[in-house]
Amino acid sequence: MADEIEIDTDDLERRMKGAMDSLRHEFSSLRTGRASASMIDPITVDAYGSPTPINQLGTVNVPEPRMVTINIWDKGMVGKVEKAIRESGLGINPQLNGTIIMLPIPELNEERRRELTKVAAQYAESARVAIRNVRRDGMDQIKKAKTKGMAEDDQKFWESSVQELTDKMIAEVDKALEAKQAEIMQV
């Protein structure tokens, strides 16, 4: 019976990777000095009676490093999309050219770049906390298994494998944070 006890490290790894995916999504919404189509992902427009993401109302392109263009398919939606972008808090002033909305990305000043690196660090810390919470759940499973008769050698094995997984995922978070901060500080 005691030999049958195993800890589901695949589930722990899946949950830790979920924290990493969430971090990557948060990082993609951070505005750096470069244009990115994902900047407008959180913006929705009241179209046809329901909130609709902009990328479902037109084609989003990044023709140059500091420009995002949106080619709206329905001419009647151009004004609503422009208004939604203005009110989104992105700090970008859309320019109209027929059915094409151009979003010039302004240069970030040094102070704003430093603020954004701090925000990125907060996102990374939240991801680390989520990963550590998954680690704690794994360690709790091991403790419960020990009370059910898990051998001490098995306990040490599972604890070390959970810790290795945690260390690996936290190193990934640190690497992603370093890359994002370098991207933000790049002029």
User: Domain 37-104 has what CATH class?
Assistant: alpha beta
Among 51-55, 60-64, 158-162, 180-184, the range of highest mean pLDDT = 158-162
Domain with CATH 1.10.132.20 in the chain: 9-30+109-186
Domain with CATH 3.30.1360.40 in the chain: 37-104
Residue with the bigger pLDDT between 77 and 31: it is 77
DSSP code per residue over the chain: -GGG----HHHHHHHHHHHHHHHHHHHHHS--SS--GGGGTT-EEEETTEEEEGGGTEEEEEEETTEEEEEESSGGGHHHHHHHHHTTTS----EEETTEEEEE-PPPPHHHHHHHHHHHHHHHHHHHHHHHHHHHHHHHHHHHHHHTT--HHHHHHHHHHHHHHHHHHHHHHHHHHHHHHHHHH--
The whole-number pLDDT of residue 175 equals 94
What is the mean pLDDT of the segment spanning 88-93? 74
Supply the mean pLDDT for the chain.
Answer: 85
Residue with the bigger pLDDT between 89 and 119: it is 119
Q: Dump pLDDT digits (tens) for 4-13.
A: 567 788 889 9
CATH code of 9-30+109-186, in short, is: 1.10.132.20
